[in-house]
Amino acid sequence: MASGLFALLDDIATLMDDMAVMSKVAAKKTAGILGDDLAVNAEKASGFVSDREIPVLWAIAKGSLLNKVIILPFAFLLSAFVPKAITIILVFGGLYLAYEAAEKIYEFFVPHAHDDTLEVLEHLNEVEVLSLEKQKIKSAIVTDFILSVEIVIIALGAVVGSSLLTQIVIVSFIALLATVGVYGIVALIVRMDEFGYKLIALNTQDDSFSDKVGRVLVKSLPVIVKSMGVIGTIALITVSGGIFVHNIDFFHHLFPILPGIVREILVGLVLGFVVFLIVSLVKKLWVGMKGEADA
């Protein structure tokens, strides 16, 4: 009986060790999209008066948790009964990620109008401000839903050959880590400038140590948000390219002399701009048809 107990404990230890290893693999594969998730949510939670940033972020975080509660059961059911669907969804998700990256690159090089939320808020009353907040929260939760699907599917793709219990534990852990980690970091980022102002006002001395640190924090916020946008875009290209290269034979054997990371970036960029051109063309045709119908 004692030997059976020790054997059971050894099996549990082995299982936990395997889960730890696979969790690291799943976390590594989802790291790229988490960077984009972080950049997107930092942008969504900023642009409000300081005392509304955390309530807005908290509302988005609750919506994100609900998104994952909805997504996870469907993902596990697909993995259990239609495992090929995971690869199909993964590829379609990769197309969306590549398109999003291409759109960001296009917007960087082609001038376009920017919406300044703070300037808009100055001319609205309290009811209109709350209505605008609800719209931004809803938009952020919809975006989070798409990113959450990708996080779950990519994590599931990393452990698709494991037992259902292992998949449930690891993917649920990654999903929870994504929500808590991303929104926790975003909360720190969006409050950087507020903390910086408090340091500047800490004493009456000019150019004190607290003043210098405070100014660095205030000036760093927009730089960090923009940097995360750039890093997130690069991550989107790499993640989407990796999905295509590892799941489609044609791309897997394309340009074998090139390093893997270079192939992934090239494939992600090319397919991203192909999808971007198709979507842009469809949008123009739709607007044209709608204009003719209205006329």
Contact 153, 86 (CB under 8 A): yes
pLDDT of 1 = 45
pLDDT at residue 60 tops 90: no
pLDDT of 119 = 47
Least confident of 41-45, 93-97, 116-120: 116-120
pLDDT at residue 271 tops 90: yes
Alpha helix ranges (H) inside the chain: 2-45, 50-81, 83-109, 117-121, 126-158, 164-190, 192-200, 209-247, 249-252, 260-294
pLDDT at residue 118 tops 50: no
Boundaries of domain holding 240 = 2-294
pLDDT of 208 = 77
Exposure of 15 by Cβ count < 10 A (0-12 exposed, 13-18 middle, 19+ buried)? middle
pLDDT of 39 = 62
As for how many domains the chain has, the answer is 1
Average pLDDT over residues 237-249: 84
d(CA 264, CA 246): 9
Average pLDDT over residues 29-33: 55
Q: State both tokens at 228.
A: 């995360």
d(CA 207, CA 293): 64
Dihedral over alpha carbons 266, 226, 152, 54 (to 10 degrees): -170
- Percentage above 70 pLDDT, the chain: 73
Averaged confidence pLDDT in the chain: 74
pLDDT of 38 = 64
Asked whether the whole model's pTM tops 0.75, one would answer: no
Contact 170, 26 (CB under 8 A): yes
